Amino acid sequence: MIIIPARIGSSRFPNKVLADINGIPMVIRTAKAVESIDKVAIATDSQDVVDIAKEYNIQAVITSTEHLSGTDRIYEASQKLNLTDNEIIINVQGDEPFIEEEVVRAVFDLTKKNASNESIMMNSCYKRINNPEADDPNIVKVVTDDHGEALYFSRAKVPYPRDHHFDEYKGHIGIYGFTKKSLAKFCELEASPLEDIEKLEQLRALYHGYEIAMVRVETDSFGIDTPDDLERALKIFHIN
C-alpha cells in the first residue's frame, strides 16, 4: 500500500497539501499520480483532507496531531488499516504532486525484492546531481557502497572532492519503502544524534546498524515547500 502523510500545518506554506493545482488539491494530485501502482491511502490530521479525499474516492485515515514525522504518521495509519506485517508500505510525501509513476514503482519493486531481508530496514532512491547542485543543503546527498546500499546521508557535499573535480553526486529523493514489520521496528528505535544534527530521519536506521537499499531513478519532480516552489513547478510542468 502507498500511504501519503498529509499534515495540514506548515509554517512556510499553510495548508499546502490542499493547494490548488489546476483545480485539484495537491495531495489528491499526488495520490492520483501513484494509484496505478498499488492501493493508496492518505494519513492526515485534518478532517478537511479526509472529506476532500472522499470526494475523489481516495481512502483517508485520521491520525494524531502529535506526530513529529511523516513516518510515525504512516505507521499509525498502517495500524488503523489493519495491514499485515508483510504488507509493502511506500511512503510518498503529500507535497510531491509531480512525482513520476516509474520513480515510485522502482522503490516499490526494490522493497518487494528485499522484503524478507531483515537487515534492510528501508528502501529508497536517488538521482544523479551535478557539482553546483550538491552545494545546496536542501538537496540531501547519499553515498552508497558497491551493493547499492546507503553508507551515509548528508546535507553537506559528500563525498568531498579534495584533490579533483567530481560531478557524480547522488541526490536523495524522500520516498521510502518498508514492510509493516520493518516500519514498526523503525518507529520503535530511539532517535539518533546524527539525525538530530543533520535533521535527516533516515540516519536513525544507519546509526542503529540497519541497512537502507537504494535504487537510481530519473526524475524532474521535487517537493513543494513554499508558494515559490509551487509557482516554479507549475512553470516547469506547464500547468496553467
- Are 64 and 151 contained in the same domain? no
* Confidence band for 237, pLDDT divided at 50, 70 and 90: confident
144 belongs to a structural domain: yes
pLDDT for the residue numbered 236:
82
Distance CA 190, CA 12 (A): 28
pTM of the complete model: 0.93
Which pLDDT band holds residue 240 (cuts at 50, 70, 90)?
A: low
Looking at the structure, do residues 72 and 109 belong to the same domain, yes or no?
A: no
Structural domain containing residue 28:
1-94
Task: Give the model's pLDDT for residue 227.
Answer: 83
Identify the domain boundary among 94, 111, 144.
94
Band the pLDDT of 235: cuts 50, 70, 90: confident
- For residues 63 and 123, state if they share a domain: no
DSSP string of the chain? Answer: -EEEEE-S--SSSTTGGG-EETTEEHHHHHHHHHTTTS-EEEEES-HHHHHHHHHTT-EEEE--S--SSHHHHHHHHHHHTT--TT-EEEE--TT-TT--HHHHHHHHHHHHHTTT-TTEEEEEEEEEE-HHHHT-TTS-EEEE-TTSBEEEEESS-SS--SSS----EEEEEEEEEEEHHHHHHHHHSPP-HHHHHHT-TTHHHHHTT-EEEEEE---------SHHHHHHHHHHTT--
50 in a structural domain: yes
Look at residue 236 and tell me if it is in a domain.
Answer: no
228 belongs to a structural domain: no
Same domain, 36 and 132: no
pLDDT digits (tens, 9 = 90+) for 4-33: 999 887 767 778 888 888 889 999 999 999
Residue 28 domain-assigned (yes or no): yes
Evaluate if residue 187 carries a pLDDT over 70. Answer: yes
Residue 240 included in any domain: no
Q: Are residues 113 and 62 in the same domain?
A: no
| CATH code of the domain containing 73 | 3.90.550.10
- Residue 164's pLDDT band (cuts 50, 70, 90): confident
Total domains, the chain:
2
